[in-house]
Amino acid sequence: MTEYGGNRLAVIDTATHSVADTITGLPIPFGLAVNHDGLLVYVTRDGDDSVSAIDLTKNKVIDTVPGFHAPSRPVVTPDDLDVYVVNNGNETVSVLPTPSGAYPDAGPMSGGTPVDLIGEGLGNTTAVRFGCQPAASFTILNDREILAVSPRLATDVKIDATIGQHTTRTVGRFSYLPDSVLTKISPTSPPLSGGGTLTVTGRGLITTTSVRFGSVAVTPSSVLDDKVTVTVPPAEATGRPRAGHRGDAEQFLGAIHLHLCGAAGHHLREPLPWFERGRGPVLIVGTELASTQSVTIGGAAADFGVLSGTRIAAVTPPAAALGPANVTVTTTGGTATVPGAFLYI
């Protein structure tokens, strides 16, 4: 919402009917338009005859274009590539191209984030790279737009597109965020009739697309990197609650889980070596293990050291009983168990 007299833009949380954030430094903002994927908003600035583009994942102005005449009433085209702006000062309409770059420009280290690449002359692109790694996939939509999927990486990189066989051009930058972590749900007991507001907090939640209550998926009313709010559906619509479980593209917390674009699940590969009655070294191999907080074997805590994002060295605790024992790894993102993966003899 534009605050004409306050030279700022207010971001409203429609679930709580409150101001979630404020973007300042906009001289007499008069009109705004949001693109169709909700990543950019264009604000006309009557105070200095310009138009600003704001990245809604960061609530930050990324580009300001001057040269308008009392601009107002911006409209985004269906393909999100152009913005039409009415010039009240001279009774004309200007066409503003979407700023070049990558949208969104951040995603989890596990990859899998759909990224819209905007630029010029991209129709003959033969390769897209995020740093040194090729994109997981890419699709040329037109001469100005490519839809690419981020690969698995762990650093901030530039995005290069190879045009034809010889020309390489940087089309944007992409930041890798720590994989999403859920820390709190409030309230934990919403009304059975539904309609209340549920808030999920954590980090890396900006790619949340839905919140599921049992079998019912609900689109969030507000999505920030550290907080997601959603309206609770009636209890009778949700069906039987889902127990704690993690899938390759889901994060669970109790009976409620978020579906996150590109969030990785945890898995362990078996079998593990055995060692007689414990106190022997074992190697645990899997994925997303860098943030491991604990390891248990047969329900007993094991001393461990993280070797990499895919390997943990652990020391087996003394056996409570001979036979197969479950191995459980808990990270900041969740818990994974391999039943009977270790054998005490």
Structure confidence by residue, pLDDT tens digits, 103-157 = 888 887 778 888 989 998 999 999 999 988 899 899 999 999 999 998 887 678 8
Question: What's residue 249's pLDDT?
Answer: 31
Mean pLDDT of 197-209: 76
Mean pLDDT over each residue of the chain, to the nearest integer: 77
Question: What's residue 281's pLDDT?
Answer: 64
Residue 42: pLDDT band (50, 70, 90) is very high
Angle at 57 between CA 43 and CA 85, to 5 degrees: 20
Give the DSSP per-residue string, 48-93.
TTEEEEEETTTTEEEEEE---SSEEEEEE-TTSSEEEEEETTTTEE
Least confident piece of the model among 42-46, 53-57, 224-228, 283-287:
283-287
Statement: residue 254 has pLDDT above 50: no
Residue 79: pLDDT band (50, 70, 90) is confident
Mean pLDDT of 320-337: 80
Amino acid at 209: T
Statement: residue 222 has pLDDT above 90: no
C-alpha distance from residue 245 to each of 205, 242, 291 (Å): 18, 8, 19
At 288 the three-state DSSP class reads: coil
Cα gap 221→132, rounded to integer Å: 37
Mean pLDDT of 273-284: 54
Residues 6+ apart with CB under 8 A from 59: 11, 21, 23
Mean pLDDT of 73-79: 89
At 24 the three-state DSSP class reads: strand
Amino acid at 58: K
- Give 18 or 310, the one with higher predicted confidence: 18
